[in-house]
Amino acid sequence: MGLLGLDIGTTGCKATIFDYQGNVRATAYREYALENPRPGWEELNPDKVWQSVKEVIKESVSGYRGTEIKAISVSSFGEAAVPVDRKGNILHNSIMYVDKRGEEEVGYLREKLGEEKVLQITGAAIHPMYSIGKLMWLKEHHCDVYQKTWKFLLYAEFILYKLGAAPCINYTLAARTLAFDVTKLEWSDEILDCAGIDKDKLPEPVQSGTVVGEVSKTIAEELGLPQGVLLVAGGHDQPCAALGAGIIRSHLAVDGMGTTECITPAFDRPIISDKMAESNFVCVPHVKEDMYVTYAFTFTGGSILKWYRNNFGFEERQEAEKKGLDVYDLLIGKAAKEPTDIFILPYFAGTGTPYMDTGATGMILGLTQETTKGEVIRAILEGITYEMVFNLECLERAGIEIEELRAVGGGAKSEFWLQLKADMMGKKVVSLNVSEAGTLAVAMLAGTASGVYKSLEDAVDKLVKVKKEFYPDEKLHQIYMEKYQTYKKIYPALKEIMQ
């Protein structure tokens, strides 16, 4: 017996089948490309995503040695919506969160409703990345598409709908629209009326983990699935990653160490305040009922190591290929063993929280003729981590205390980096037995909804295990705290030069 978790990303989708003990039994992945019809426009073709999803389901099911799939759930990125008519036909490509369209429209919301009111309703500051501005733009510039649209579905629910579910949206994805009341857990009439968007074109909001249908007979036959497979509401990818790391109580956070880095803490009540807004922190529902999360992130985490590898790591790339090793393991293995006096601002694609400065650029300060390759590599890891230390400080100022970080993602494979993180942050950092936090989370939701697990707590207890714990070296932590005081001054001092 198995549970199938789907993760829909911006450039690819993954299907993973887990047994009830959390072991990966089969997995498949497909990529798809964004489309750029005009400069500044970024779109995703929903039909290409659906075709890719069917392929990964079919491949994973064919490679599965079990006898049955009991339930399916889905996590996905947020914001982008798929307009469908009453027959399920796709009417337009999805406008992505990085697309420039919608800026003027959310400006109208800012003028009519004000930042404070929208923040109190949605838990988020007004920004053009959210769905509402894109829907307003579509209504204004493609009125025919808007009028024909029966429902606007975000991607996790679009896939569930295509598999056979009723149209719905889980609370965590609804919160990415900037039209959802995160305390009442319902669509905001005030925002929708101001935006001119018809509420009946939006799907019914439901709690993550709700059974929303069964795989249709036709799709089951096409994909090799058994009859009667339950479809379960999943969630936005970040709170799903948190659940997959066992973040279901306060004072814990998952640290997703991937191309970007995102710390997602959980808390048991909505925290919507000026302190949160000052740091551009949202307050949105968790996939676990009656809990909330926020996101503290930098746009360039592991991608800076990739930049270094591509431009300065020719020797390591050759060595890794020759020895059959991971090039990042080789690079990190050559990092200096002591703290450096080099400061790297990891703003290679602008800043994430708390500044959200799209014009910021990366900088390297403190180079001398004696600087070694190993020091630069360590400084990259330090720079990324300094930025997350700063985010932790902002979270604590907003009233969110974190005692333990659970690391997942590619960077979490490096014990050197995890120890460095513990030393710099002064907090316990743990690695987990989890390699697929996002898809494991939706498997947990599917398993709990279908009766495999008594509760999400039971699922976490059975499936999420600590692999290794890393505790801070107090001497090194003090050294880093002194250097951190300098790091915090760099961006404010050089902001004008960056622009």
Could you say which DSSP state residue 350 is in?
B
Assess whether pLDDT exceeds 80 at residue 499: no
Q: What pLDDT score does 105 carry?
A: 96
Assess whether pLDDT exceeds 90 at residue 208: yes
Q: What pLDDT score does 119 carry?
A: 95
Q: Do residues 240 and 390 make contact, with C-beta atoms less than 8 angstroms apart?
A: no
DSSP string, 286-347: -SSTT-EE--EEES-SHHHHHHHHHHH-HHHHHHHHHHT--HHHHHHHTS-SS--S-EEE--
Let me know the angle formed at the C-alpha of 86 by 82 and 87, rounded to the nearest 5 degrees: 95
Assess whether pLDDT exceeds 80 at residue 248: yes
DSSP string, 184-237: TTEE-HHHHHHHT--GGGSPEEE-TT-EEEE--HHHHHHHTPPTT-EEEEEEEH
Sorting pLDDT into bands at 50, 70 and 90, what band is 443? very high
Who has greater pLDDT, 267 or 299? 267
Q: What is the pLDDT of residues 49-95, one digit of tens each?
A: 999 999 999 999 998 876 689 999 999 999 999 999 999 999 999 99
Question: Mind listing the domains of the chain with CATH numbers?
Answer: 2-239 (3.30.420.40), 246-433+465-499 (3.30.420.40)
Look up tokens 């997959």; give the residue: 244
Let me know the angle formed at the C-alpha of 31 by 73 and 437, rounded to the nearest 5 degrees: 40
CA-to-CA separations, 272 to 98, 149, 402, in angstroms, rounded: 25, 33, 18
Q: What is the pLDDT of residues 45-58, one digit of tens each?
A: 999 999 999 999 99
The number of C-alpha atoms within 13 Å of 330 and in the hemisphere containing its C-beta is 18
Assess whether pLDDT exceeds 90 at residue 397: yes
Assess whether pLDDT exceeds 90 at residue 409: no
Question: Mean pLDDT throughout 191-213?
Answer: 98
Q: What pLDDT score does 234 carry?
A: 98
pTM of the model: 0.91
The Cα–Cα gap between 95 and 256 comes to 25
Q: What is the pLDDT of residues 319-356, one digit of tens each?
A: 999 999 999 999 999 999 999 999 999 999 889 999 98
> How does strand 404-408 pair with strand 252-257?
parallel
The Cα–Cα gap between 307 and 112 comes to 43
CA nearest to 145, candidates 232, 193, 83: 83
Q: What is the pLDDT of residues 268-301, one digit of tens each?
A: 999 999 899 999 999 999 999 999 999 999 988 9
Assess whether pLDDT exceeds 70 at residue 370: yes
Torsion, Cα 255 258 261 265, to 10 degrees, reads -30
Could you say which DSSP state residue 366 is in?
-
- Among left, alpha and beta (phi > 0; psi -120 to 50; other), residue 102 is left
Q: Do residues 296 and 281 make contact, with C-beta atoms less than 8 angstroms apart?
A: yes
Q: What is the pLDDT of residues 136-173, one digit of tens each?
A: 999 999 999 999 999 999 999 999 999 999 999 999 99
Q: What pLDDT score does 67 carry?
A: 67
The Cα–Cα gap between 271 and 400 comes to 9
Assess whether pLDDT exceeds 80 at residue 251: yes
Q: Do residues 234 and 76 make contact, with C-beta atoms less than 8 angstroms apart?
A: yes
The Cα–Cα gap between 374 and 90 comes to 52
The Cα–Cα gap between 65 and 51 comes to 24
Q: Do residues 46 and 82 make contact, with C-beta atoms less than 8 angstroms apart?
A: yes
Assess whether pLDDT exceeds 90 at residue 98: no
Q: What is the pLDDT of residues 237-246, one digit of tens each?
A: 999 999 999 9
Sorting pLDDT into bands at 50, 70 and 90, what band is 17? very high
Question: Mean pLDDT throughout 396-420?
Answer: 95
Question: Mean pLDDT throughout 372-398?
Answer: 97
For the chain, the average pLDDT equals 95
Task: Return the percentage of the chain with pLDDT > 70, whole number.
Answer: 100
